[in-house]
């Protein structure tokens, strides 16, 4: 398993197939993270309106600037949602940590009865999962 913010580290595999498999898994993890960041950008500090920022550049070699929307997100720590309400902004790491609190536990009582208990998603978790196209299964 790779951690957040994929980094290059030493690889301790000794055969070519294992090295290729490791690199493939790293690339798949990177691709998944990239797509998640693109989809979740309106909920994150990431600049989701790069076209507006690019339009404001005077030269291709000038220092890149963030869009007004990204500046507003960073200064207020909030973002306006499609529902007309203001929501807190997350970093990719904090949003994944928040999503990691969703649990589903199966409890067995003496081998006879089984009970499945699922945590209730918060509004932020529901919005993130909705943006990713994930539906929570009913308990």
What does the pLDDT look like over 26-77, one tens digit per residue? 889 889 989 999 899 888 887 777 777 677 777 878 777 777 777 888 888 8
Residue ranges covered by each domain of the chain: 45-89
Q: E-strand spans in 14-126?
A: 78-80, 86-88, 104-109, 113-118
3 pLDDT more than 50: yes
Which residues have CB under 8 Å from 60's CB, separation 6+? none
pTM of the model: 0.71
Q: What is the largest CA-CA distance in the chain?
A: 71
């Amino acid at each position: 398993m790779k951690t957040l913010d994929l980094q290059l580290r030493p690889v301790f595999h000794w055969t070519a197939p294992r090295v290729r498999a490791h690199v493939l898994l790293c690339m798949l993890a990177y691709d998944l993270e990239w797509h998640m960041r693109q989809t979740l950008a309106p909920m994150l500090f990431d600049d989701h309106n790069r076209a507006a920022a690019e339009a404001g550049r005077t030269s291709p070699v000038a220092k890149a600037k963030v869009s007004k929307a990204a500046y507003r997100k960073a200064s207020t720590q909030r973002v306006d949602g499609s529902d007309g309400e203001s929501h807190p902004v997350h970093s990719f790491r904090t949003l994944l940590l928040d999503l990691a609190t969703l649990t589903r536990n199966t409890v067995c009582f003496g081998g006879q009865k089984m009970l499945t208990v699922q945590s209730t998603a918060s509004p932020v978790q529901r919005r993130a999962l909705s943006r990713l196209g994930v539906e929570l299964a009913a308990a």
